[in-house]
Structures are given as C-alpha cells and as structure tokens.
C-alpha cells in the first residue's frame, strides 16, 4: 500500500472525513470497472459503486493495512454484489453501448476510418455473444474471470478477495476457461 493511502486512511479514522474524497477519487474507476463487469449496466454499476464507498467509509476502522486497500474495496464490491442481487434477477447482457457514445463529436460518431460496416457489425455481434457466454457462467467462475483477465489480479489477490484458497481460484479459473473455450468453439463453427 502506498504511504499516501495509509496517511489518508489514518486521517479518516481520526475523524477528518473530507480526506475520504481522496480515496474515492483514486479508486472510483477500479470499483466502477468491477461493478460494471459484473452488472453490464452503468446505472446499476454507479449505484453499487456508491454503496461500496459508503460501506468502506462506515467500516474504515476494520480495514487491515497488511493488505492492499484496492483488494479490500474489490472484496466489498463483490460482497455487495452478491448480497444485492441474490434474490433479484438482473439482466446481465445488454446491447453494448456506453455513455461515451453520447459525448463524442459528430465525426467520431458517424465517420469510421477503420473497418467497413460489415466487419464492425460482425465484431459487435461476436463481442455480444462472448459476453453472453461469460454471463452464463456461475457467479464464482464469472468473478474469477473478471478479476483475472480484466482486473489483472494475481491468484493470491483473487483468493484474498473471494476468501477462498488459491487452489480453489486456480480450479475455478481452469473450469471457467474450459467452459468459455468449449462455447466459443461452438460459436466459431457458427461463424464459418
């Protein structure tokens, strides 16, 4: 953990609550990224991110500085996701669009200098289908895939976040990869 994080957390623990804004500014992209990969909905991801920081603030005294602060936040994100959506079914697959599309200039939106429209549409369909495959995974496999490939976490960090042994992380990752490979292979056959 960086010295700045330790100092900031200590100040928050001492009651200087405005220091928590530094934590939010530093880690909001990470938390939102994990939440969005789990939910595939920007509004839900924003809500979950806010809840994560509220929970972190509320329980900042329980944080153990022996571990990375980012790992603690990701664990909170994962636990809140599980708690919030245990009983509520959420549509995890949507059309792949983003708020960034609304902020682009006319040229960025409508003039494409790269691939032809047929290739672009085909790639978007393929991406959507791959996301569908990932979202069909059981939660524990999906979380390992997200943390490992998109979060760039090590086996040890994932084990800490999910509170499982490293062997379990390796096993889940292997099973998830096998599932993805099998289903992706079927898609490739369709695309030929």
Domains of the chain: 1-92 (1.10.1740.10), 108-192 (1.10.10.10)
Looking at every residue in the chain, the average pLDDT score rounds to: 79
Q: How many CB atoms lie within 10 A of CB 53?
A: 19
Which tokens hold the place of 52?
């994560």
Which tokens hold the place of 54?
């509220």
Q: Which of 11, 3, 23, 9 is nearest to 63 (CA)?
A: 9
Candidate ranges 37-46, 83-92, 108-117, 162-171; pick with highest mean pLDDT: 162-171
Identify the pLDDT of residue 122. Answer: 63
Q: Which residue has the higher pLDDT, 3 or 42?
A: 42
Identify the pLDDT of residue 162. Answer: 86
Q: Which residue has the higher pLDDT, 55 or 97?
A: 55
Distance CA 170, CA 138 (A): 15
Per cent of the chain over pLDDT 90 is 26
pLDDT at 64 exceeding the cut of 90: no
The string of pLDDT tens digits covering residues 74-127 is: 999 988 988 876 645 443 333 333 444 455 554 454 444 555 555 666 666 667
Distance CA 180, CA 99 (A): 28
Identify the pLDDT of residue 190. Answer: 67
Identify the pLDDT of residue 89. Answer: 44
Distance CA 147, CA 56 (A): 20
């Amino acid at each position: 953990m960086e010295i700045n994080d330790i100092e900031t957390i200590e100040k928050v623990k001492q009651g200087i609550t405005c220091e928590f804004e530094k934590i939010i500014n530093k880690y909001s992209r990470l938390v939102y990224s994990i939440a969005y990969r789990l939910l595939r909905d920007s509004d839900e991801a924003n809500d979950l991110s806010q809840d994560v920081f509220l929970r972190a603030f509320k329980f900042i005294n329980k944080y153990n500085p022996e571990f990375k602060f980012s790992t603690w936040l990701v664990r909170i994100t994962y636990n809140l996701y599980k708690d919030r959506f245990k009983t509520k079914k959420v549509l995890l697959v949507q059309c792949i669009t983003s708020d960034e599309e609304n902020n682009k200039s006319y040229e960025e939106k409508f003039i494409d200098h790269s691939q032809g429209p047929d290739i672009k549409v085909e790639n978007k369909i393929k991406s959507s289908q791959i996301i569908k495959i990932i979202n069909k995974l059981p939660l524990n496999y999906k979380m390992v895939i997200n943390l490992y490939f998109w979060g760039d976490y090590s086996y040890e960090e994932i084990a800490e976040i999910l509170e499982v042994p490293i062997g379990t992380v390796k096993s889940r990752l292997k099973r998830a990869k096998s599932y993805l490979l099998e289903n992706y292979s079927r898609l490739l056959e369709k695309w030929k």
